[in-house]
Each structure stands twice: as C-alpha cells, then as structure tokens.
Structure 1
C-alpha cells in the first residue's frame, strides 16, 4: 500500500466530510490506447491503485495558531480578528492533512460518459428540473451541475467539458 497526495477544493472537501463524495475524476495527461477502457493500462495512474491511500490536500493555514485551520470549515477570521491568509492546497504537508481516503476502484473513461449516479457520487448537490414548464415531467440534473464544476476547475487549462478529455475515475472511501 502506498500513499499519494490529492488536492481538493473547499466545496469538495465539505462533500467528502459529509459522505456525499465517494468518487473523483482527474484528467489524464496522455492519450490512452483504445483497449484502456477495458482495463489494460500501459500507464500507471499517478494517484495509485486499488488499496492505496490518498491524503487530501486542501486550503489551510497554521498562521497564529498551533493546529491547522481549514478553509472548507468556513473560517474567515482568526482568533485575533484578522482575516485569514490561506495557503493553497498544493503546499499542504502530510502532517496537516485531516482526511485519508482508500482507493476502492480505478477506471478510465471519456469525461462525458459520466452517469447521473456517478455525478452524484462526485459530491454534487443536485436537483431535478422540469423538462418543459408545466409538464410535471422531471429529469435529474447532476450531470449538468458536474459539468459546471468541471469547467470551473479545468476549462482554463484546456481540458474543459466540451473537449471531452480522458479521465481517471477513482472511487474511494474515507478512512479519516
């Protein structure tokens, strides 16, 4: 078993802590071969393999305090009344991480192949929308919400929803 760091935004940390998030998708930095969808990966996933652990990196600070304070908890000022200066998640050391995840399953797919069920497992707070006003027919909306979340993180990096990039699909359970 190995441990690997993995960054999450504050709203996704909250979803993990509330047990709403049990899956994450991360862009693949290479073009997969056609048979990778069927489980033959010539490349190693940088986040590990089933059984490995992920320690969560999140925005945090330990300025003016002994224990880390986490942005996902909603703090805006420290004990002295000063606005908190957050450190980006990429600078979080292992000792400051409060969340450890165990990888349960790992897969590869095109981003737009996500299902409603998987979008909900991504921690999306979702609703149902009426297909046409007054119809009384509703459809799930989790994929649309996931699309907006994905674009807010990756579209500026050239890996937006419309490009339909290949992604690692990692399902996990929270250990701590």
Structure 2
C-alpha cells in the first residue's frame, strides 16, 4: 500500500463530494523497458492477426493504494507570503470548489488570501481520501457507459452532464466533452484515443492521516 497525491479540478471535486464519481482516467506513460517486476509497471498485449504488439506502461497506482486529493485552495491573507511547505498544519483552509472550510487556528477565515493551485496543497490540508479498488489500462475510447457514469456523469431531464456542463445525449459523449476540456489543448484530445489508466476507488471524507471511521 502506497500513499500518493492526486489532482482534481473543481467540478471533479464536487462530484467526489456528491458521491457520483468513483473512477478517474489519466494518460498512461508508455515505456520501452519490459521490466514487469518493477513496481507500478503494467504489461498489455494486443493481437492483430499474426502480429502481436507489446506495450509496457509505468503505472503510479495499485489496488490498495491511498490517494489524497489535491484541489484549489486558499488560506488566511496573513499567510500569502508563506509557502505550503513552510506552513505548520494549523492554518485555516478554504476549498475553492465549494467554499467549505476547515478551521484550526482561527474561528473563521476572516480575510481570504490568494488563490493557490491544487498541485501545491499539502497532504495535511486534503479533505478527501481515495482507496484504490481497481486499476486497468485501456484506450480512452474503450470506456463503457457504466464507466462514464462512474466518472461522474449524471442524467438530468433526459440529458447527461457532469457538474451541469458538457450536456449530451449519452454518458460517453458527455465524458468526451469533459476529457477534451481538460486534455485537448495539450494534444491528447478524445480523437487521439490515448492509452489511459482507469482507476476505480471508494471515497472517504477525511484527511488521509485521520483515523478511518
């Protein structure tokens, strides 16, 4: 079991909080090193007639891992010039995704400080812990409708959407819109059909270092 950080956008954090998201897909990193004994490596063979192509991937997730969610955040303005690494862990935190806050050193966040990217959220400030239950490698477009729903797609009035955005007639088309909004500009849009790591998990509403309920 390994503890790792994982970054989510505000809509995906809201889906995690709502209990509608139990899967995530991340672009898989392919390697030429066929060392299947290496921790985190995954081997997949695909056949086409008499030709067999072997793909090796470095996978940073495994069943049993615990992932602490990183998301956009703010703290008191008094800490604006202090890096997250220099914080002591008793600072008040406001979560940008939904405006919720956890307070340690202040009765409330009286004066909000600057916006901070999720990638800079310290471990102690995370409020969601994901317990990995399954890890697969597949082509992006191989996602099933059930998996698209597990990615957070919801049905409302006959249309499917994620966080009131990416409205479509099917869960997969809605998820396609979400994927492109996050990945198209970096050359990994839906149409490129990249290899992805599909991670399934359960969600626990707690700091990763807090005692499990």
Question: Does TM, normalized by the shorter one, top 0.5?
Answer: yes
Moved over 3 A (4+): 31-34, 40-44, 126-129
Q: Indicate whether 1:56 and 2:47 are aligned.
A: no
Q: For 1:20-39, list aligned pairs within 5 A.
A: 20-30=20-30, 34-35=44-45
The 5-angstrom pairing of residues 1-176 of structure 1 reads 1-30=1-30, 34-35=44-45, 42-46=56-60, 48-64=61-77, 66-74=91-99, 79-80=110-111, 85-127=114-156, 128=158, 141-176=170-205
Matched residue SS, 1:126:
strand
Q: How far did 1:102 drift?
A: 0.4
Unmatched 5+ stretches in structure 2: 32-41, 48-53, 79-90, 101-108, 160-167, 206-213
- C-alpha displacement of 1:67: 1.5
Unaligned runs of 5+ in 1: 130-138
What is the TM-score with the length of structure 1 in the denominator?
A: 0.81
| CA RMSD between the two structures | 2.6
Conserved? CA contact 2:28–2:58, under 8 Å = no
Determine which structure has the larger strand proportion and give its number.
2
Q: For CA contacts below 8 A with separation 6 or more, give which structure has more relative contact order.
A: 1
Contact 2:179 2:190 in 1 (8 A): yes
What is the TM-score with the length of structure 2 in the denominator? Answer: 0.67
Q: Is the 8 A contact 2:25 2:196 kept in 1?
A: yes
**Structure 1 position 155, deviation (Å):** 0.6
Structure 2: how far apart are the matches of 1:158 and 1:87?
A: 26
Q: What is the rounded CA distance, in whole Å, between the counterparts of 1:41 and 1:51 in structure 2?
A: 24
Max Rg structure? 2
